[in-house]
């Protein structure tokens, strides 16, 4: 079983600016998080952003279900979905859920 362990490091804004791409690699490949300081004050936190199309589709489906019946002439646009996975997931959802 994989347990995600993240490490948070504090760096100065000058060091972060000078080594931006090295820090980006550490965030992407090793899961590090960075807190950037300026004059001793923490200004921002850098961490990896995870974008999961399945979760995004689920949120859309919940929103559509909540709005069902409120807009009788509403038809969603299939061009909204960016990837094949999203389109496939939505088609699957349409078969299981009655709008």
Q: What is the pLDDT along the chain (99 residues), one digit of tens a residue?
A: 334 556 788 999 999 999 999 999 998 888 889 999 999 899 999 888 777 777 888 888 888 777 766 666 656 665 666 677 777 777 777 777 655
State whether 32 and 59 are in the same domain: no
Strand ranges for the chain from DSSP E:
8-12, 33-38, 41-46
In a domain, 74, yes or no: yes
Q: What is the pLDDT of residue 71?
A: 62
Tally of domains within the chain: 2
Tell me the residue range of the domain where 27 lies. 8-46
In this structure, are 18 and 38 located in the same domain?
A: yes
Q: Please, what is the angle between helix 84-96 and helix 53-67, to 10°?
A: 40
Q: Which tokens sit at 67?
A: 């709005």
Q: What is the pTM of this model?
A: 0.47
pLDDT value of position 49:
79
Buried b (16+ CB within 10 A) or exposed e, 34-49: bebbeeeeeeeebeee
Q: Are residues 36 and 13 in the same domain?
A: yes
Structure tokens at 29: 């490949």
């Amino acid at each position: 079983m994989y347990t995600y362990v993240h490490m948070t490091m504090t760096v100065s804004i000058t060091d972060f600016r000078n080594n931006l791409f090295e820090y980006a690699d550490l965030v992407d490949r090793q899961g590090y998080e960075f807190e950037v300081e300026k004059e001793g004050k923490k200004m921002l936190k850098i961490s990896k952003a995870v974008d999961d199309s399945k979760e995004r589709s689920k949120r859309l489906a919940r929103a559509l279900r909540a709005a069902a019946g409120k807009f009788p002439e509403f038809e969603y646009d299939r061009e909204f979905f960016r990837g094949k996975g999203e389109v496939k997931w939505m088609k699957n959802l349409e078969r299981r859920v009655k709008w």
